[in-house]
Structure 1
Amino acid sequence: MYADGRPVTTLLVKNIDHLATFDDARREISGGALFVRDNVIDKVGTTAELAGFEADAVLDLSGHVVMPGMVNTHHHMYQNLTRVMVQEDELMVWLKTLYPIWAELDDDAIGVSARIAMAELIHSGCTTSSDHLYILPNNCTLDSTIEAAREIGLRFHAARGAMSRGESQGGLPPDRCVEKEDAILKDAERLIHTYHDASRHSMGRIVLAPCSPFSVTPELMRDAAALARQHPGVSLHSHLAEELFEEKYCHEIYGMRPVEFAESVGWLGDDVWFAHSIFMTSGEIDRFAETGTGVAHCPSANMRCGQGIAKIREMLDKGVKVGLGVDGSASNDTSNMFMEARLALMLQRVAPHHYLSEKPGGRGGFGGTPTALSAREALEMATRGGAALLGRDDIGHLAPGMSADFIAVRRDQLGLSGTGRDPLAALVLCGPFRVDYSYINGREIIGKGAFRSFDVEEALADHRAVMNRIYNQ
């Protein structure tokens, strides 16, 4: 789209220093080029190969690395209203401390916090995101996050989260933070009929996402799964195997492990992905692979809360779909996809799992191994992996027929000097970075490092006003 709002039908991106396509052949092209028609990639090749193509707009990306936009598969955007709190306690204490604060949120706070989170994500290379909104007090709605995504231009999977099992029913959240299950399902169906678009290149889909085994009933899990499967493209998401107290809870309440519980309520399948999945046996990982169930790996949050290290290497080796998620800004404190890719790589290399000893160069025991995860594997989780979790065949790599979602990082900057041998790996090993260009659905969202239409200063002012209102009530 031009600055005056006129649509751009065709776009030629040329002279790309290093174009990493992440296509089926994993091509990386020096002097690369992309030709986009009607928001869809039409041609990919060298600048010389595409020299004969005429376009409404031409973008010269000399001196840049270009790759597919990254896909964030797990977030709680409202939590940027409660950053840097509960810094040194385990998850149960963290939750019990923050639940009463989150109970004061209203719909304006949800929308304002979503705009800030989305801007952070886009600046860090994200072009598609899911958001798991599971606490909706005071007439909060998922609609406000969907409106925020439309305003800023983010491809968005809005996850209608829910908590229905309060303390009085043996759950963890306070009763004032939970909803009635019939109201949850009714609202979920409304959202599907109002916003869900299952078509290719869709900018918005709905996900059904009861929060966790300790905050909902088995009945809600079953009913949510049944509802989702009545509508093509509506997927299922939840937390699972995140904490040892969750494992204990499932044993005491359901007489089974978390993964067994998930399977008992119909929550394994290629339309399901779980956040974290740290405490899983090899047999359970096999079951995920067999059923096509996916995992959103959130290394920053897992490290911040001292939870543990997910067995990502084993999952990848066994064919489990794995994507990356930044998780909430109260358990991560930021929303940066390059950082998640970097930490995913680093964390697997020090992981004290015995399965690492089976890899070439593995040291076994409690030692790590530098071969556990590569920079390209980390970026592949952030792109193709995330697309697979969300059930998308139109994003995650750059090839003809794919959505025109791509990012560019300028190489001539502090932190990237001396990286000419491998500029793609440098985005992980030397980062995190901000993007200089971000195109989503063929539209320039960031150009020369700045948002084209989104007013960051206004969004920050709105965020400060919400903070003052909530904390001064």
Structure 2
Amino acid sequence: MPELQLIDLLIVPQWIVPIYPRATVLEEHAVAVRDGLILDILPLSEARRSYTQAESVFLPGHALMPGLINLHTHAAMSLMRGLADDLPLMRWLNERIWPAESSFASEKFVHDGTLLACAEMLRGGTTCFSDMYFYPGAAAAAVERAGMRACLGLAVLDFPTPYAADADDYLNKGLAARDALRNSSHVTTCLAPHAPYTVSDRTFEKVLTYAEQLNLNIHTHLHETHDELAQSKKQHGMRPLQRMAGLGLLGPGLIAAHGVHLTTGEIELLAERGCHIAHCPTSNLKLASGTAPVTALLEKGVNVGLGSDGAASNNRLDMFGEMRLAALLAKGSSGNAETLPAWQAMEMATINAARALGMDEQIGTLQPGKYADMVALDLNCLETQPCYDVISHLVYTAGREQVSHVWVAGEPVLKDGQLLSLDPKEILERTKAWQKRLRTTH
């Protein structure tokens, strides 16, 4: 009889949805984890003959899938959830959000807001997010404390905030933060010029130079509203995407958030250059920005991931909600019920987002050699019965309230719905203190 291999963890759910191979569901299988990586996914009978484990987790009636990836958010803005609802984007920014940030943005604000966001995302099955905000060092401290992953966008604008005085100051502070975080196992960085309407050509050119020299992605807002397009045509004589193309910014390292208003030619250009879109369906609807042409983007081969945007404009960091809404909007806007099926919505929230971040060899699917970033959902409750097609169920029926367990690199961060890496009581106390301050002033 062959000697059994020692592993750290064996997880035995009822269903495994690995994402790859596409639309696959495995039953009576197990996931073997060693040193934070997926060692094997194999029939349970074979697992018992092959491995001995330090810990076994049996999850009858549960589905196991990769951790969700939120491709566009502003985590610290969770402290402004509900502060400025029911306003269009530019009034929302100019009248409420930017004034609040000028009064309160600080390292402590970002740390505490990011902690709140991390707690919400982990409880909802999100194990990695792509952020864009100030004070990246403070955000990184919260992410590492939570035990999840993040790609922190190093914000760049052409106007002053409490964080930085001008574009050069943003870049210098961002690059210093990048250097300080280079050895982090959970945090990566990218350059994040806020948007074409807040960043000059000169600044974009500097961003591109640093991105090329340091092999960093670029994360920006793009074509979110009609106002943005009109302002660009008035100021630059062209649409934002055309301007960015002329500056050399379009390429496989570009993550463009929103992409709501795109022509056929612009979609073809994005596909040709290998750019990525972070689709934020809830935020786009709430700010009345419009509905992104996701069907056309996918048909042309543009890689589309899903994002929540910040909790100040969503007001949830709920990737299960984004999957469901993205699928429904695509069907309704295209008039084709077969558009964006459940398996494809799941890809947008996992492997597509990982590909946009350049992390598709590490996360985004359950495969041997990748990090054991995994989420289990309990489908035993009345609201999720009966279950005929588990992939369909995970998109259209289940929600973040069904998330029972979360692992990041094989380490449990949520067990039986309870956070292990963060203290909810402490986070609530911090949040209420900030709420009192913001309510008094704004």
TM-score, L = length of structure 1: 0.88
Tell me the amino acid that sits aligned with residue 291 of structure 2. I
Partner of 2:281: 299
In the alignment, the residues of structure 1 paired with residue 182 and residue 246 of structure 2 have an alpha-carbon distance, to the nearest angstrom, of 27
The reply to whether residue 439 of structure 1 matches residue 407 of structure 2 is yes
Partner of 1:403: 371
Aligned length: 431
Instruction: Confirm or deny: 8 A CA contact 2:250 2:273 kept in the other structure.
Output: yes
| Structure 1: 5+ residue stretches without partners | 1-7, 167-174, 357-367
The reply to whether residue 218 of structure 1 matches residue 201 of structure 2 is yes
C-alpha spacing 1:176/1:22, structure 2 compared with 1 (3 Å):
closer
1:287-306 Cα offsets, whole Å, 9 max, x none, are 11111100000001011111
Give, in angstroms, the shift of residue 436 of structure 1: 0.2
C-alpha spacing 1:397/1:83, structure 2 compared with 1 (3 Å):
same
Instruction: Confirm or deny: 8 A CA contact 1:34 1:41 kept in the other structure.
Output: yes
| Structure 2: 5+ residue stretches without partners | 1-5
Partner of 1:363: none
Partner of 1:150: 144
Partner of 1:277: 259
1:349-370 Cα offsets, whole Å, 9 max, x none, are 111xxxx4xxxxxxxxxxx221
C-alpha spacing 1:179/1:32, structure 2 compared with 1 (3 Å):
farther
In the alignment, the residues of structure 2 paired with residue 25 and residue 461 of structure 1 have an alpha-carbon distance, to the nearest angstrom, of 43
Q: Helix, strand or coil for the counterpart of 1:84?
A: coil
- Of 245, 260, 268 in structure 2, the residue corresponding to residue 286 of structure 1 is 268
Instruction: Confirm or deny: 8 A CA contact 1:214 1:246 kept in the other structure.
Output: yes
In the alignment, the residues of structure 1 paired with residue 324 and residue 183 of structure 2 have an alpha-carbon distance, to the nearest angstrom, of 33
In the alignment, the residues of structure 2 paired with residue 307 and residue 177 of structure 1 have an alpha-carbon distance, to the nearest angstrom, of 28
C-alpha spacing 1:145/1:438, structure 2 compared with 1 (3 Å):
same
Give, in angstroms, the shift of residue 180 of structure 1: 1.0
The reply to whether residue 424 of structure 1 matches residue 422 of structure 2 is no
Give, in angstroms, the shift of residue 78 of structure 1: 2.2
Instruction: Confirm or deny: 8 A CA contact 2:23 2:391 kept in the other structure.
Output: no
Tell me the amino acid that sits aligned with residue 103 of structure 1. S
Give, in angstroms, the shift of residue 312 of structure 1: 0.7
Partner of 1:36: 33
Give, in angstroms, the shift of residue 176 of structure 1: 7.3
In the alignment, the residues of structure 2 paired with residue 445 and residue 129 of structure 1 have an alpha-carbon distance, to the nearest angstrom, of 16
Q: Helix, strand or coil for the counterpart of 1:270?
A: coil
Instruction: Confirm or deny: 8 A CA contact 1:78 1:114 kept in the other structure.
Output: yes
1:317-363 Cα offsets, whole Å, 9 max, x none, are 11111100010111101111100001101111111xxxx4xxxxxxx
Equivalent runs, 1:190-229 vs 2, <5 Å: 190-196=176-182, 202-229=185-212
Give, in angstroms, the shift of residue 165 of structure 1: 4.0
In the alignment, the residues of structure 1 paired with residue 341 and residue 102 of structure 2 have an alpha-carbon distance, to the nearest angstrom, of 41
Partner of 2:131: 131
In the alignment, the residues of structure 1 paired with residue 382 and residue 78 of structure 2 have an alpha-carbon distance, to the nearest angstrom, of 28
Instruction: Confirm or deny: 8 A CA contact 1:339 1:431 kept in the other structure.
Output: no
Tell me the amino acid that sits aligned with residue 207 of structure 1. C
Tell me the amino acid that sits aligned with residue 442 of structure 1. G
Structure 1 stretch 426-435 or stretch 105-114: which is displaced more?
A: 426-435
Instruction: Confirm or deny: 8 A CA contact 2:222 2:256 kept in the other structure.
Output: yes
The reply to whether residue 45 of structure 1 matches residue 42 of structure 2 is yes
Give, in angstroms, the shift of residue 179 of structure 1: 3.1
The reply to whether residue 334 of structure 1 matches residue 316 of structure 2 is yes
Q: Helix, strand or coil for the counterpart of 2:142?
A: helix
Partner of 1:23: 20
Equivalent runs, 1:255-266 vs 2, <5 Å: 255-266=237-248
Give, in angstroms, the shift of residue 462 of structure 1: 0.7
In the alignment, the residues of structure 2 paired with residue 45 and residue 310 of structure 1 have an alpha-carbon distance, to the nearest angstrom, of 39
Instruction: Confirm or deny: 8 A CA contact 2:379 2:398 kept in the other structure.
Output: no
The reply to whether residue 187 of structure 1 matches residue 140 of structure 2 is no
Tell me the amino acid that sits aligned with residue 147 of structure 2. G
Tell me the amino acid that sits aligned with residue 78 of structure 2. N
Q: Helix, strand or coil for the counterpart of 1:56?
A: strand
- Of 397, 402, 427 in structure 2, the residue corresponding to residue 459 of structure 1 is 427
Q: Helix, strand or coil for the counterpart of 1:306?
A: coil
In the alignment, the residues of structure 1 paired with residue 354 and residue 198 of structure 2 have an alpha-carbon distance, to the nearest angstrom, of 28
Instruction: Confirm or deny: 8 A CA contact 2:145 2:421 kept in the other structure.
Output: no
Partner of 1:54: 52
Instruction: Flag as ranges the 4+ runs of structure 1 deviating above 6 A.
Output: 175-178
1:40-60 Cα offsets, whole Å, 9 max, x none, are 111012212211211121111
1:118-154 Cα offsets, whole Å, 9 max, x none, are 1111111111111110xx4xxxx21111000000101
Instruction: Confirm or deny: 8 A CA contact 1:242 1:278 kept in the other structure.
Output: yes
TM-score, L = length of structure 2: 0.94
Instruction: Confirm or deny: 8 A CA contact 1:12 1:59 kept in the other structure.
Output: yes
C-alpha spacing 1:103/1:388, structure 2 compared with 1 (3 Å):
same
